[in-house]
Amino acid sequence: MKLAGIHHVSAITADADKNHDFFTRILGMRLVKKSVNQDNTSSYHLFYADAVGTPGTDMTYFDIPHAGKTYPGVSSISNTGFRVKSEDALLFWKERFVQFEVPHEKIVERYGRKTLYFEDFEGSRLMLVVDDGKGIPYGEAWIKDEISAENAIVGLGPVKLTVRKSKPTEKVLEEVMGFTLAGSYQSGVEDSPDILVYTTGAGGPAGEVHIETRPDLPMERPGRGSVHHVAFRVPSMEDYPKWEELLRAKGFTTSGLVDRYYFKAIYFREPNGILFELSTDEPGFDTDEPIESLGEKLALPPFLEPRRAQIEAKLRPLSINK
């Protein structure tokens, strides 16, 4: 069994309207699914991805209006990467961030690639990374008037885990999930160990987990802008139940087999407390909506459809423009 890379990253927003504006208008991503948190249907769940919702391209947000401030620390997913095709694209984004007053840093090299750190209006810790296309394939660019296919975001890049002790997390990645240690790079924090780079699938940024060891930091207190979990791609439906069996055999408490309708999932926590998910590539976001109109209406899986009126009555109105 082999994981094929990152499937999605799910985070928290306290303002779904501004969140939608940031990810669609400023970042140029496509809203491919407007749904609800299946575990709390009074909350929206918004999925932003490439043009067709390719697995490995979607950043999702749970809308929790009264979410408090995030206090960064360990046991966290402390950065989410997004792939672009070239250094010229990075320059385009740096100018765009200046135009829209998006907080960002200088373009710097991380693990031999040019990167650009930035944040959204809630402090989500994000990064653009140049992907040369030699690893996991690009997603399909969602072309906007101001954002060309050459400059568009074409998928998720590496995720960074910040932990107090890296060895337990490394062991899970290597011995359970099949990742391999590919290298390391300097953290940029004085007296801190190098950041370790683990890879899976066909490689490249879309298949990487970066591990930062920070024993000097407190435990993260999550809130708006923080990441809830990271999911990894299970490309084979046949392997999906086998992963559940493997995790149980290795002593993990899991969620069991969870049908999210657009994909099937298994949740578990690695030893530092970070929530991992294994998600199938199939059936995909177009299982209940045509590709042409993804994200335009509130989508509910069949097991929630009988409760649509009740669910819609409890959802707060959004000013999301179609």
pLDDT grade, residue 188 (50/70/90)? Answer: confident
- What digits encode the pLDDT tens for the residues 56-112? 999 999 999 999 999 999 999 999 999 999 999 999 999 999 999 999 999 999 999
> Residue by residue, what is the 3-state secondary structure of the chain?
CCCCCEEEEEEEECCHHHHHHHHHHHCCCEEEEEEEECCEEEEEEEEEECCCCCCCCEEEEEECCCCCCCECCECEEEEEEEEECCHHHHHHHHHHHHHCCCCEEEEEEECCEEEEEEECCCCCEEEEEECCCCCCCCCCCCCECCECCCCCCCCEEEEEEEECCCHHHHHHHHHHCCCEEEEEECCCCCCCCCEEEEECCCCCHHHEEEEEECCCCCECECCCCCEEEEEEEECCCCCHHHHHHHHHHCCCCECCCEECCCEEEEEEECCCCCEEEEEEEEECHHHCCCHHHCCCCECCCCCCHHHHHHHHHHCCCCCCCC
pLDDT surpassing 90 at residue 316: no
Q: What is the pLDDT of residue 322?
A: 45
Note the pLDDT of residue 184.
Answer: 98
**pLDDT tens sequence across 109-138:** 999 999 999 999 999 999 999 999 999 999
Please state, for a pLDDT cut of 90, what percent of the chain lies above it.
96
Average pLDDT score over the chain: 96
Label residue 315 by pLDDT band (50, 70, 90).
very high
pLDDT at 313: 94
**pLDDT one-digit tens code per residue, 247-281:** 999 999 999 999 999 999 999 999 999 999 999 99
Domains and CATH numbers, the chain: 6-314 (3.10.180.10)
Whether the per-residue pLDDT at 226 is higher than 90: the answer is yes
pLDDT of residue 136: 98
At 137-158, the pLDDT tens digits run 999 999 988 999 999 999 999 9
Q: Please say if the pLDDT value at position 321 is more than 60.
A: no
